[in-house]
């Protein structure tokens, strides 16, 4: 795992400062997800290697993640919401959105690919 790309770090810092400034009108949830977030965290393709519902973690083999400056690999993600993992099983092809927060990698959305 390489160090965080400078641009990615800047984007995170920018997003959090923008969110803080807009807090009075944005409300708690939307302040964590400024409008630019979707473009910065595109859907990626992967395959489920392991699901741990109790810990809310999923091991994914994923392709390159441009938004996280990460090459293809197999790694563990924490689910932003453990419910996201319900119904997933080893070998499932999935489309997912990955994000990095506080030094950990999260999936913020995941669904079986048709
Ligand atoms: Cu990875």
- Mean pLDDT lowest for which of 6-10, 23-27, 105-109? 23-27
Q: How much distance in Å is there from the Cα of 68 to the middle of ligand 1?
A: 8
CB 112 within 8 A of CB 89: no
Distance, in Å, from the CA atom of 57 to the CA atom of 85, rounded to the nearest integer, reads: 8
Helix (H) and strand (E) counts in the chain:
2, 5
- pLDDT higher at 29 or 61: 61
What's the 22 CA to ligand 1 centre distance in angstroms? Answer: 31
Query: What is the CA(25)–ligand 1 centre distance, in A?
Result: 35
- Given 3.40.50.1000, 2.40.50.320, 3.20.10.10, 2.30.30.90, which CATH number is that of 41-112? 2.40.50.320
Q: How deeply is 33 buried, as exposed, middle or buried, from its count of CB atoms within 10 A (0-12, 13-18, 19+)?
A: middle
Which 3 state secondary structure label does DSSP give 56?
Answer: coil
| Residues, CB-to-ion distance under 5 Å, ligand 1 | 70, 73, 75
Please report, for the chain, the start and end positions of each structural domain, with discontinuous segments joined by +: 6-37, 41-112
Q: What is the pLDDT of residues 6-22, one digit of tens each?
A: 666 566 655 555 544 44
């Amino acid at each position: 795992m390489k160090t965080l790309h400078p641009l990615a770090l800047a984007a995170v810092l920018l997003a959090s400062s923008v969110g803080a400034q807009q807090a009075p009108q944005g409300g708690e949830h939307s302040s964590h997800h400024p409008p630019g977030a979707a473009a910065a965290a595109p859907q990626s393709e992967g395959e489920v290697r392991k699901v741990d519902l109790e810990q809310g973690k999923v091991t994914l083999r994923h392709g390159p993640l441009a938004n996280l400056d990460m090459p293809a690999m197999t790694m563990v993600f924490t689910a932003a919401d453990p419910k996201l993992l319900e119904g997933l099983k080893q070998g499932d092809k999935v489309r997912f959105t990955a994000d990095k927060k506080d030094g950990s990698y999260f999936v913020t959305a995941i669904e079986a690919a048709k």
